[in-house]
Amino acid sequence: MGTMSQTGEMGHEKEQETAGDELRRPEPPALPWTVRLQLFALVTAVDIVQRGDGTVNRFLFSLADRQSAAAARPDAHGVRSGDVTVDASRGLWARVFSPASSSAVESPPLPVVVYFHGGGFALLTAASSQYDALCRRLCRELRAVVVSVNYRLAPEHRYPAAYDDGVDVLRHLATVGLPADVVAAVPVDLTRCFLVGDSAGGNIAHHVAHRWAAATTSSSRRVRLAGVVLLQPFFGGEERTEAELRLDGVGPVVSMARADWCWRAFLPEGADRDHPAAHVTGENAELAEEFPPAMVVVGGYDTLQDWQRRYAGMLRRNGKAVQVVEYPAAIHSFYVFPELADSGELVKEMKAKIPTNPDSAGDELELVVASRRDEEDNEEAEEVEDAAGADRPHILSRCPPRDPPRDRVTERRSGGERGGGGGAPAAWTPTVRRPYIRHLNEYWKEQQEWVKAELAAHGYVECEIDDNGDNPCTCGCAHAGRGEDEEEGYGQRLWMR
């Protein structure tokens, strides 16, 4: 283990030396003083408790990790909570949050959110005050029963312990159900179960969803996954991405040094960051055929953002429904700070995808295919939605769009415009430009492959016409087919039923 980790760190330092002058680092994010103070306390504690031998000083961290007890009595917002033991032999338990219902019957039954907390696989618990507060908030705002999993921590319990614990909690829900003293008379629908996780918890949610979707047991039929919501999931690899180099030391919480330490603590002895647990888009990664629809949340100041986008691209290539929601001004773990505006926006976004009434939002996550950051540029996704009920040609350009989507720095949302104008990165150097353009080419290729698969699934047949658009194609459909917005010299592919 020591040899591999030392080699990775030396390579990282060399890359920083060669690329540091060319990558223009953004200014640190503007944060309220209360958030800055909490972040300082957190990262200081994280750095101090990491021992040289790779273990964690649990006692020291417990002094900084404020805990909240479960409360059977409803709080001011009508949410009660209770702890349930799943497996006493390994200390596996979960905290259940439920709205307090004043009526004997609540219609329709509430969805279930199974939450996996962050902490780099090694720190924090389901009772940590920030996660107790977050899960209470989700229970209240989403109107859902929330089950926060207290999985075993690394390095005492390495891969795959956390994944095993997540699967066993789902089995417990399928066989034992939810504690009656917490959910009381609130009806619950276990066939509408959503896995939600942040940071390392997002990684766990992905792997648990894969395992559960691949299972064909009676338990997997009783607890059905309606979707996964990954909040800035912790993925990685031996490669150093552009965002890791550009944001290392700028974005708070996650630095490359801290991330590398967490991987060494969690992965099997001797494994590197290309292990399938970390590198979920690598050649050895697996994805179940029945993997549920996904929502991936990305922050503009998160060093992990490139891995998160690659993950979403992998889901698209495999024909899975996925939505990417980006918050350009967001730091890692922004969702645990209710005073941040993006935190409230995220909860609204989740509420739209996890509705109390299954009939109030169509197919929930299943039909979500567009990325929030590319709303103006996702014509392909709109064509797929139209294709579901229209018998007319659908035109896809063979070439990448002439106007590429906004880059990572200039995206708009609550943070406004940032960086240089015209969609160009703030530091438009060759070092930035080449990977940026390469990413765009890969992105649009993935989009078009996904759209073609969706159209074919709806009964469309691909036909080709020449660039002039006036000759019948080889299939004999004799369509004229020239798009109104097509420029001279751009070929077309039309899709006919």
3-class SS of residue 279:
coil
In the DSSP assignment, the letter for residue 123 is S
CA angle 65, 161, 130 (to 5 degrees): 25
* Residue from 210, 279, 332, 394 carrying the catalytic annotation: 332
What is the DSSP code (8-state) at residue 205?
A: H
**For this structure, is 21 an active site residue?**
no
Which three-class secondary structure state does DSSP give residue 185?
Answer: coil
Measured from the Cβ of residue 408, the count of other Cβ atoms closer than 10 Å reads: 23
CA–CA dist 162, 147 (Å, integer) = 15
Q: Which long-range contacts (CB under 8 A, 24 or more apart) does 333-338 make?
A: 333/118, 333/198, 333/199, 333/232, 333/253, 334/299, 335/134, 335/198, 335/231, 335/297, 336/130, 336/131, 336/133, 336/134, 336/198, 337/35, 337/38, 338/133, 338/137
Report how far apart, in Å, the C-alpha atoms of 407 and of each of 76, 102, 400, 410, 449 are: 43, 49, 15, 6, 21
**SS3 of residue 294 by DSSP:** strand
Catalytic residue among 302, 306, 342, 407: 302
Task: Identify the CA nearest to 371 among candidates 459, 289, 462, 446.
Answer: 446
**Alpha-carbon distances, residue 433 vs 8, 12, 427, 438 (angstroms):** 25, 21, 9, 8
Catalytic choice (81, 128, 148, 199) = 199
Distance CA 392, CA 397 (A): 16
Given strand 492-496, what is the order of strands in its sheet? 394-397, 492-496, 461-465
Taking a C-beta distance cutoff of 8 angstroms, is the pair 111, 192 a contact?
Answer: yes
3-state secondary structure of 165: helix
Single-letter code of the amino acid located at 241 = T
**Distance, CA of 282 to CA of 296 (rounded, Å):** 18
SS3 for 394? strand
Is 414 noted as a catalytic residue in this protein? Answer: no
Contact present, 185 and 104 (Cβ < 8 Å): yes
State whether residue 327 is helix, strand or coil: strand
Question: Is 75 an annotated catalytic residue?
Answer: no
Known catalytic residues are: 199, 302, 332
